[in-house]
Amino acid sequence: MEKQKKDFQNFLELFLKENINCNNNSINILKDVILGGKMLRPILVLEASTYLNPNWKNNPEYTQKIYKFALILELIHSTSLIIDDLPSMDNDTYRRGNLTFHAKYGQQNAYLMVYNLLVLIKSLIIENDDKTLWYVELEELINNEMSNLVLGQKYDLDPEWKPSNNLSRTLQIAEYKTASLFKLAFLGPFYLLEKENLKELKDLKDILDSLGLNLGIAFQLSDDFLDLSTDLKTNNYGLETSPENLKNKYLEYRTNIFNDLKKLKILKNLKIFKKDSAIYEMVMMMDKRTLLP
């Protein structure tokens, strides 16, 4: 994952230097927001792009669109974290050992940063628009998944909420809050790189959508495993608060990930099981989180 992360960081440094018209302090805060995370979603965008078109970096148009889309997802993710951590929401002072945005810069700056990030997200979406019907479809998909993020946060804040379809509360919130952007990480490159053949590639789209869903939920389950001690106190996750249940559910979605990859490999004739692939490294990281041997 380090190669993709470094590639994205290089793009980000250049983008901020050329496009953000504000003082150095504001740029440093913005860099802190984006560069402070794992950048998993941009990493997946770059890896998915290579699955679909190994030579996409040789095309300047594709290069700009893919990196900007990766940035869009990271900005959406960063915005959601700032909002989630606010005192009126989850009221978190620390996230994985680091001060949350409002704890570090103040609530007023947190609100202002959210406004700035939303404006930047919209500007990037407009810049990537190639005036095709397929891009309209991608924009609609982005809007839908952003709405799911809001729904996921709403339900997460309500300890009494349960899905009406008797599904697991844990899995439904994970699908809304986490899998939404993971799905976009695979579907965005599909729309941007395969726009000439979208009608004939429904099977490919379905596999990418499934891969994003399964990877996103597995990632959230492994994340929940790290937070078990807190969740046991608040009973925030109901049935899956049990370590054994969480681990079993994680293993189920882990299996789904590799089944999707097998289908993708066959459909696109890909060599994607290298141990230096981003998805493989992510799975190894999640295995470690859930204490798998």
The CATH code of the domain that includes 40 is: 1.10.600.10
Could you give the percent of the chain with pLDDT greater than 70?
87
User: Strand 94-95 relative to strand 98-99: parallel, antiparallel, unpaired?
Assistant: antiparallel
- pLDDT, greater one: 175 or 291: 175
Q: pLDDT digits over 182-236, tens only?
A: 999 999 999 999 876 666 788 899 999 999 999 999 999 998 888 776 655 555 5
Query: Using an 8 Å Cβ cutoff, are 74 and 91 in contact?
Result: no
- Mean of per-residue pLDDT scores for the chain: 86
Distance CA 202, CA 82 (A): 36
| Selected residue with higher pLDDT from 24 and 175 | 175
182: containing domain: 2-289
Q: Which two tokens stand for residue 212?
A: 């994003």
Quickly state the pLDDT bin for 163 (edges 50, 70, 90): confident
Helix or strand (DSSP H, E) at 94: strand 94-95
pLDDT, tens digit (0-9, with 9 covering 90-100), for 227-272: 776 655 555 555 566 788 888 999 999 999 999 998 988 887 766 5
Report the pLDDT value the prediction gives residue 229, as an integer from 0 to 100: 62
Domains in the chain: how many in total?
Answer: 1
Distance of CA 147 to the CA centre of its chain: 14
Q: Mean pLDDT across the stretch 46-67?
A: 93
**3-state DSSP call for residue 293?**
coil
Residue 160's pLDDT is 84
pTM for this prediction? 0.91
Comparing C-alpha atoms, which of 63, 19, 9, 66 is closest to residue 39? Answer: 9
Q: Do residues 42 and 77 lie in contact, with contact meaning Cβ atoms separated by under 8 Å? A: no
pLDDT tops 70 at residue 159: yes
